[in-house]
Structure 1
Amino acid sequence: MAYRRTDAVVARLNETRERIVAAALKLVAQHGYDGAGIPAIAEEAGLSTGALYRYFPSKADLFDEVFRRASQREIDVCAAAAQTPGSARERLARVVQVFARRALKGRRLAYALLAEPVDPLIEADRLRYRIPYRDIFVGIIEDGIEAGDIAAQDAVLTASAIVGALNEALIGPLAPQARKTDQEQLIAGLALFCVQALGPMPARKS
């Protein structure tokens, strides 16, 4: 007869797995991927290194899970910001401000998510996780076009360009060796740039 795990065993395994991911996320947020070693993660989670590898067969697998969890959390926050009241331009600026402010507040983790050299597995997810951000902006732009506040345009193209600009503009300020910058000025400048990327307000029909 095949062994069937009891509910208690499954719950314990899931709890341990979550503890490992939480420990890895904490250390990546403090030191980046390169500075978060498996022995340190295992110690933080209260496990032996060998026990950790029973849950995640490689460091890349563990860090990919950390990347996906952390990225989804940021996507959810930005999606919520996109649903707040206001014109399309106001909502877009708000999402950009939220994204940039959270990145600058948790700069070590944000740099790990956006730019730190990583295993190809995580790099592939990095590209995939740009799509939900793009789709948030697509929704805002399409709402603006429908309302007559934004000129007709390729919403996917514009949204993709905004996502790319955000990532590129923040990499330098987030880098570990970056000089101190005026964060509020940077956030305001990014929001202004992204709103201006929508083009001028269409002329109202009389």
Structure 2
Amino acid sequence: MSHPVYSHVNGVTTATNQFDNYCQTDSDTGGKQIIHGSVSYVKTGTPSANGPVTTRMVSNSPAGVSFVTKNSSGATVTSQTISFSNYVYTPGVPGGDATSANPDRVQIDEFTIGDALTGKSYRQTGYVMSTYETSDGGSQTTVSGRGYRSNGTYFDLSSTTPMTTNKSGDFTGGVFTFAGAGSSTAVATLVPGSTLQATMTVGGAPLTNVPACAK
């Protein structure tokens, strides 16, 4: 990895991270991950006794960064490229913990994930995420945005109930609504627990013939 562009003037850092077929090898399996592409960013901060405190960061990768994984035999297992424009991170409380009144905020005008093996892509626009730490040590997060499938159809994602976790990182609640063209609606309700799982309804009818979604 290299930094072909780097400057720091009056609290503003402008830089580019360049990955030129950067390779990581799994010592257990012998598999490899190869990363290629570049990400540019502008980070704005204010001086403090402990170093600069970030107040805003803007990042772009219009050409994208590719991630290719190969097994020990050299066969390609996954091959994806992620590109994005106008990623903006704004801390709610610079140098401190975000609050419900001033949450950390991420906005992305557009990002795309393309899969070279399947030929499919996923694109999202107008993505917004806000998050903060709750008084009991957990977190609360809301997201919204519009997603596009490879076939051109779209859906609007929103947190109708914020996603919450406890201080151990276990999920305690959250409801996400996916509203598509033609008034179709799917609702994912998170199942409390250490694993991200959800039950689904489509058009108000529960999906009972499939297992709960899990990641």
Give TM class, smaller chain.
under 0.3
The alignment's TM-score, normalised by the length of structure 1, stands at 0.21
The alignment's TM-score, normalised by the length of structure 2, stands at 0.21
Higher strand share: 2
Higher helix share: 1
Higher relative contact order (CA 8 A, sep 6+): 1
